[in-house]
Amino acid sequence: MATPHIACERGDIAPLVIMPGDPKRAERIARDHMEGVKLVSDVRGIGAWTGTFDGVPVTAMASGMGVPSLSIYATELYSQFGVERICRVGTCGGISSKVKVKDVIVAVSAHTNSSVATIDVPGVSLSLAASYEMLRGAVDQARRAGRTVHVGPVYTSDFFYSARTDIIPALDRLGTLGVEMEAAGLYACAAAHGKEALAVLTVSDHLKDGSGDLTADERETMFADSLQAAVAALKA
């Protein structure tokens, strides 16, 4: 029962999915952190790796970059493959002075300039929010492990390079912690299918100070804390 973007049978994908943006991060999660992994789909180079975390079946699969790409995979996973929970393990740019590079943000909700917030119910801008159970699982795990996690709204932008940098201070004043490109799309997809989702983000750079920004290699590999929180969220 392949779909246009996932070439495997329904049972090949676990009900719990770890979803970074980067396909190389997905492969690294599968290879270095999961047991008994099998590559079950590889359409367009987006590998879907199914295995276990501490005996619990999980699939690691990338979303690609941006709401349109993520929405394709999340829609097919929720609607055709019996997926119940997706946890994004992503990177973001810091907006708030409260967050520093390498910190972990758990996105309680996502503001967005994407049409996903406004297209489904005319005249209404939807509130795109995380699963409470998943969020609690991630935050409890991080606090038990003695790690600081920031919990709050993020901004999901359709643009990595935007001319509208003038809007960032207003988002900062409203408590927005960071900027990335998929969380709002994931929360919208989960709501549309009556499923659950969460985004756990490592701060890879800061909009107020670029001096400590992570390199491309570091963005691929520095996810240990956010991965542990994400696995706890999936199992919660």
Ligand X SMILES: O=P(O)(O)O[C@H]1O[C@H](CO)[C@@H](O)[C@H]1O
Ligand Y SMILES: O=c1cc[nH]c(=O)[nH]1
Of the pair 54, 217, the CB lying nearest ligand X is at 217
Using alpha carbons, list the distances in angstroms from residue 179 to 60, 62, 75: 23, 19, 23
- Exposed / middle / buried, residue 148 (Cβ in 10 Å: 0-12, 13-18, 19+): exposed
Of the pair 203, 232, the CB lying nearest ligand X is at 203
29 Cβ contact partners less than 8 Å away, ≥ 6 residues apart: 18, 20, 49, 60, 89, 223, 227
For the bound state, the minimum distance from the C-beta of residue 104 to ligand Y, rounded and expressed in Å, comes to 14
Q: Which does 205 bind (CB under 5 to 8 A by kind): ligand Y, ligand X, none?
A: ligand Y
Q: Is 205 in the site for ligand Y (CB under 6 A)?
A: yes
Catalytic residue among 42, 205, 213, 217, which? Answer: 205
Task: Point out the residue whose Cβ comes nearest to ligand X.
Answer: 21
For the bound state, the minimum distance from the C-beta of residue 231 to ligand X, rounded and expressed in Å, comes to 16
For the bound state, the minimum distance from the C-beta of residue 205 to ligand Y, rounded and expressed in Å, comes to 5
Of 105, 94, 214, the residue nearest 149 (C-alpha):
105
Task: Point out the residue whose Cβ comes nearest to ligand Y.
Answer: 93
For the bound state, the minimum distance from the C-beta of residue 96 to ligand Y, rounded and expressed in Å, comes to 13
Of the pair 116, 181, the CB lying nearest ligand X is at 181
Of 195, 215, 194, 193, the residue nearest 204 (C-alpha):
215
Q: Which of residues 163-182 bind ligand Y (CB under 6 A)?
A: 179-181
Of the pair 65, 192, the CB lying nearest ligand X is at 65
Residue spans of beta strands (DSSP E) within 44-102: 48-53, 56-61, 85-94
Q: Per residue in 180-214, is it b (16+ CB within 10 Å) or e — as a string? A: bbbbbbbbbbbbbbebbbbbbbbbbbbbeeeeeeb
Question: By the criterion CB under 6 A, which residues form the site for ligand X?
Answer: 20-22, 65, 90-91, 160, 180-182, 219
205 in catalytic set: yes
Pairing mode of beta strands 85-94, 196-206? parallel
Q: Which of residues 52-91 bind ligand Y (CB under 6 A)?
A: 91
* Catalytic annotation, residues: 205
Residue ranges that bind ligand Y, judged by CB under 6 A: 91-93, 160, 179-181, 204-205
